Chains A and B, each alone.
Chain A
Amino acid sequence: MSAPTSTSAAVHNDGPTRAKGVRRSLRATPTAWVIWAVVAFFFVNLAGVVGSVLVSSFGRRWFDTWLPSGFTTQWYGEAWHEFGLLHVITVTLIASALVVALSVVVGAPAAYVLARQNFPGKRLVYITFLLPILMPPITYGIPLATVLYKFGFAGHLSGVVLANLVPSVPFVILTMTPFIEQVDPRIESAARMLGAGTRAVFLKILAPLLVPGLLASAILVLVRTVGMFELTFLTAGPDSQTLVVALYYSMSAAGIRAQQSVDAMAVIYTSMMLVLLVVALRFVNPTQLVARVKEEPE
């Protein structure tokens, strides 16, 4: 139900900008050729990088030749059993779902206040929320892991979830704020005048209007959490590894395992991420994450 809303909003937002750019971009100047050539070169190499892993994951033996000596799907079966992928994927999905739910519940109300209200110390609060995004995860990850070990969280799923919340909550706040700013405060005032309490305003007015924003930030947090290596790596125990961490261990312990089964596992990981990202792109226009064109008639 929300998909059409957000898509139509995006199209509407894009309208004026797009229409004007049409001609200019079709004319190809020498610089344009150079730029497209560079892009093409990047794509070709990217295809090579991805393709070589894909080919290798289906390959039998591959040494000093263009292609492997034969093709097989055995590596997928091997990776699945050897690494206990079912368990790993379950852990990944549970941890990510918990992180998404908690960060939305904690972050969305804060985003609401930051979008709507000016209060003393707002800048300080804002910078505090910004810091976890501006710091590399390892810098706060190591002290955080130490604290989590001290209180007995690390090594379990709870530690992984808590650590991943640190960048996720600020991320929800930052992505939700522009969505909330777009909701006209007069709608809320009108509801209040008609006797709606704060609860009713939130549940009946704001929540439905913010579904696109909530979905956008939830899906982005999901993609980020599934891909988050450092924090999970520092806090996970043997039973609470997510797919990225399991993959890292299997690759850094290379030599013991067949390289192809690591390749197969990487392909499984990427397909999972790709599905998530394609779903995300249905709801979020990636180019409008930072600069939202306001829906005001001019």
Chain B
Amino acid sequence: MSTVSGLDWRHRLAERGVDRRLWLLLPATVFVLVLFIYPFVYGLSLSFQPMNGGGAFANYQKFFSDAYQRDTILTTLKIALPAALLNVLAAVPIAFRMRGRFRGKRLMTTVLVIPITLGTVLTAQGLLNFLGPTGWFNRVLMGIGLTDDPIRLTNNYWGVFFSLIVTGFPFAFLLVLSYLSGIDPTLERAAATLGASRSQRFRRITLPLLAPGLATTFLLTFVLAFSVFPSAVLVGNPAGSTRVISLAAYQAAYEQYDYAYASAIAMIMGAVELVVVAVVLIWRSRLYTGSTGGKG
């Protein structure tokens, strides 16, 4: 094949899927390179050029040697991991109940979707009003005599946690429901014919088929929860128990105007987040990933 003509060469490329249609990818690829990859690389290199001198790693040393900054990683994980986990775990049984057809299913789905429209600020205001010391929730608790003094549920960890449940649960629910509807119900019926009990069917058939979807749902809810920033300020205690890492990055950039340090924190944040993503993906790859019967 030493005398490959231009046409022949093009033909062979086309057989491997490289033809003129690939030009259609160009705008999106250029766009991702310019607006995502380039800023990322720029931020990475900026993080190695500390504003106040020092070695290339000075910004990272600064972050990890300062307990007030370092602890933001743990704070973020302590809020985001349980919230994401609870959202996914709570979504499973509810989605399981909702996959059949019954009266009011559409209404119920719509109501469950409504929290998506609330936005951080209405959620924050609502939680402050509702769960606050003089709010309806504490009034009811004190009214039925469960407690004498109002329980503190806002301006601390719990406020942020609840705001993540309110905004994250509907999202997790929708995803789990759609993964669940993708599982072919005939599989379960076949198992029932063979004498499998309800719990056996769930454990041996539905759960393994659903697990990869659950992993994806967990990841997406975790990403949402991990970047919690407005609610950490509005319903949390932004100087203490809910000082999340995004807040540290924001303060470095827009209060101290140290973009190099802010980029370093953003990179650390990305790295921590990607470690969790990687762990979940590795765990997911050990699960069954074949066809779930019904979906393509």
Contacts and interface: CB of A to CB of B under 8 A. Distances in A.
Partners in one complex: yes
Interface of A: 14, 17-26, 31-32, 35-36, 38-39, 42-43, 45-46, 48-53, 56, 63-64, 66, 105-107, 109-110, 112-114, 116-120, 122, 125, 128-129, 131-147, 162-163, 165-166, 169-170, 173, 181, 223, 227, 229-230, 233, 244, 247-248, 251-252, 259, 262-263, 265-267, 269-270, 273-274, 276-278, 281, 286-294, 296
Interface residues of B, number: 99
Contacts of A125: 25, 29
A143 B119 contact: no
A24 B100 contact: yes
Nearest to B143: A66
Nearest to B185: A20
B246 A39 contact: no
Question: What's the dominant secondary structure at chain A's contact region?
Answer: helix
5 contacts: A25-B100, A138-B227, A144-B35, A146-B259, A163-B35
Contact of B273 (A25, A139, A146, A244): A139
Question: 8 shortest A-B CB distances, which residue pairs?
Answer: A143-B43, A21-B100, A291-B182, A136-B227, A25-B100, A49-B126, A110-B28, A273-B117
Contacts of B218: none
Given A21-B99, A173-B28, A49 B123 contact: yes
A143 B177 CA distance: 36
A163 to B, nearest CB: 8
B17 A287 contact: no
Interface of B: 16-18, 21-22, 24-25, 27-29, 31-32, 35-40, 42-44, 46, 90, 93-94, 97-102, 109-111, 113-127, 129-131, 134-137, 139, 166, 169, 174-175, 177-179, 181-182, 185-186, 189, 213, 216, 219-220, 223, 226-227, 229-230, 233-234, 246, 249-250, 253, 259, 262-263, 265-267, 269-270, 273-274, 277, 292, 294-296
Contacts of A262: 121, 125
Contacts of A32: 97
Nearest to B224: A136
Nearest to B199: A31
Contact of A117 (B17, B29, B119): B17
A290 B95 CA distance: 14
Contacts of B226: 136
